[in-house]
Structure 1
Amino acid sequence: MPSPSQPLRKLGFLTIGLFDPADPGQGHESTLRLIELGEQLGFDSAWVRHRHLQYGISSPVAVLAAASQRTSRIQLGTAVIPLGWENPLRLAEDLATTDLLSGGRLNPGISVGRPGHYDRVASALYPDTAEAEDFGYERVRRLLDFVRGEPATDFSGIEGIEVYSDRVQPVAPGLASRMWYGGGSLRSARWAGEQGLSLLTSNVVRAEESEDFAEIQRSQISAFRAHHPEGARARVSQGLVVIPTDGASAEQRAKYREYVRNRTPRTAAPQGPARTVFAPDLVGTSAEIAERLYAHAAFREVDEVVFALPFTFDYEDYVQILTDIATGLAPALGWQPAL
């Protein structure tokens, strides 16, 4: 097996947190148990996806607040919160509160853009301001200003028996330095770098200079670091779907390979008007996956990963996959558990 240019320094995982609409509590409990397991296995971070009007995690900050009370070390992240659904001031309050509850372990990942199916949801989400809402980078700047302690109002002081602050409360020291941006284009990568954010890359990018996923992602990472104040030291995390099979049963291996087979056709060429390129899911033994990662042009540029768990699998499947990642795949990549 080839040797990596540098050992994997930070290991994370991402879960979508699906649930049965007839029993949503159990789905959230399973997500919390996976985060607890991740800490026990030595993972450096656990991240949750964000889903609105679907049977997944609609309130990741609340879920991570709960996770913060059941863990003590593992970093907790969102990948990502789409700001088009959020009021930046209110979100800043929730993020700061959860960060304090976690002891400074929150890593908020955010993104911009119009909410999905906006024409159908706008009247419920923004009944009076739907056409005036700004879903661009200015929404991120507002959030960052509030998180960094910039004034939110020109009023502070005492009114009657109430004491008011002109800044978002509570204040969470260090939270601003742990903000991430989820980007999949050269423009978003450059912008995230200019803002001094960290960059979350995933298994989805936009074909601009190439149609090869690894080369596209490598180019975006380079653009991000070229525009970041910290240059080559700027943090980037890669998020591919990996499914190691070392400890899987024959039934699980068959299910995993069928899952990957059904998703592979979308990786053959750019999809849709946005020319979206999907990365192939990686399934096989830890040694096989490690070899494919070493050959991946973008993976060679990072020393942090947030491996994405597949959708729709059973809890027992996730336990096996996380265990194999922590005990087989990640050590093959040079990672050492933070225990």
Structure 2
Amino acid sequence: MKKIGFLSFGHWTPSPQSETRTAADALLQSVDLAVAAEELGADGAYFRVHHFARQLASPFPLLAAIGARTSRIEIGTGVIDMRYENPLYMVEDAGAADLLAGERLQLGISRGSPEQVIDGWRYFGYEPGEGKTDADMARSHTEVFLKLLDGEGFAQPNPRPMFPNPPGALRLEPHSPTLRDRIWWGAVSDATARWTAEQGMNLMSSTLKADETGEPFHVQQAKQIRAFREAWAEAGHDREPRVSVSRSIIPLINDTDRAYFGVERNSRDQVGQIEPNLRAVFGRSYAAEPDKLITELAEDEAIAEADTLLITVPNQLGVDYNAHVIEGVLTEVAPALGWR
């Protein structure tokens, strides 16, 4: 059995071909799609976070809005770029959104990916320390964030406060007592997956991975997941970790599906240089009639290793079409593979 959700990049563009032409469209349709996905029986609604782009950028108002409109579905990110984040303010925002949603947030965070502008985090007021990189800064912000989520008091109270304080040092409020166990790290390399396990975070593995062996994407990703689980066991954590993978899966059920995605039937892994020192392998898209999809997906080793599958959706095609895609995966594909 797997949890199956969707992952939206939240694109919007002022084009007649797009159903999401404004930022308001992207935000409101994201809420509507989460509601529709819950009604269809999906398990999760996840959203990508990008700054300086015509995409979703500020996750917590969106997550809180979805929490208020739904009752069961997990609500998450994939991923928040920690180079841009004030971990103290983030703890308050995340705690509030999680409590509003009834403790359903699943927050994917990470070092982030190449952005729309050069060193965009500098505009947010952040600089790596001397001799440190932006990746070091992201991990430093993360370490503070995780420690604060434990809810231990750390701030010296004012002896003459405006309102009475509880005894001892004060923590940030509102505090969500279970959120620490629902933090995920988006790992690209095997080494980062092991670090993720050491920190006690769940693993979020996307549609690309550092090309470390030259093997097919799903094989490398499966090895990364196994490395994560081994490191988790060695760390001695007292709970079972979760692992998600993301895939583009389009069941070709009707003529509209075939018109939009029929050309992707023969999609293959791609390899590219996304940073000067990072060669990555990008996973293929799956677009085919349901019976063929079932055969192809049964051979995906990484999906077999994961407990959570996130379906990337073409959000600019509108809520109704994306709900159709999600329903197709849930009803035409997942049962035959034993996922539901």
The two structures have a TM-score, normalised by structure 1, of 0.87
Match of residue 286 from structure 1:
290
Candidates 1, 4, 15, aligned match of 1:11: 4
Match of residue 27 from structure 1:
26
Match of residue 174 from structure 1:
178
CA contact (8 A) 2:251 2:257 kept: no
Are 2:160 and 1:159 equivalent residues in the alignment?
A: yes
Match of residue 107 from structure 2:
108
Cα offset, 1:54, TM superposition: 1.0
- Structure 1: unaligned runs, 5 residues or longer: 1-7
Q: Aligned partners of 1:115, 1:163: CA distance in 2, in Å?
A: 46
SS of residue paired to 1:58:
coil
Match of residue 300 from structure 2:
296
Are 2:148 and 1:146 equivalent residues in the alignment?
A: yes
CA contact (8 A) 2:53 2:116 kept: no
Match of residue 67 from structure 1:
66
Cα offset, 1:268, TM superposition: 3.6
Match of residue 5 from structure 1:
none
Q: Aligned partners of 1:47, 1:172: CA distance in 2, in Å?
A: 20
Q: Aligned partners of 1:138, 1:123: CA distance in 2, in Å?
A: 16
The two structures have a TM-score, normalised by structure 2, of 0.86
- Amino acid paired to 1:251: T
Are 2:246 and 1:245 equivalent residues in the alignment?
A: no
Q: Aligned partners of 1:245, 1:117: CA distance in 2, in Å?
A: 33
Candidates 274, 277, 296, aligned match of 2:281: 277
Identity %: 31
Match of residue 18 from structure 2:
none
Cα offset, 1:230, TM superposition: 5.4
Q: Aligned partners of 1:114, 1:204: CA distance in 2, in Å?
A: 11
Q: Aligned partners of 1:83, 1:115: CA distance in 2, in Å?
A: 13
Structure 2 CA distance for partners of 1:302 and 1:230, relative to 1, 3 Å: farther
Match of residue 257 from structure 1:
262
Candidates 212, 221, 226, aligned match of 1:222: 226
Q: Aligned partners of 2:123, 2:240: CA distance in 1, in Å?
A: 43
- Amino acid paired to 2:7: L
Q: Aligned partners of 1:160, 1:251: CA distance in 2, in Å?
A: 63
- Greater shift after overlay, 267-276 or 175-184? 267-276
Cα offset, 1:160, TM superposition: 3.9
Are 2:96 and 1:97 equivalent residues in the alignment?
A: yes
1:311-330 map, 5 Å: 312-330=316-334
Per-residue deviation, residues 113-163 of structure 1 (Å, max 9, x unmatched) = 58736645355222xx5353752422211110111113443x125534245
CA contact (8 A) 1:157 1:163 kept: no
The size of the alignment, in residue pairs, is 321
CA contact (8 A) 1:241 1:310 kept: no
Q: Aligned partners of 2:12, 2:116: CA distance in 1, in Å?
A: 22
Match of residue 17 from structure 2:
none
Q: Aligned partners of 1:202, 1:119: CA distance in 2, in Å?
A: 23
- Structure 2: unaligned runs, 5 residues or longer: 15-20
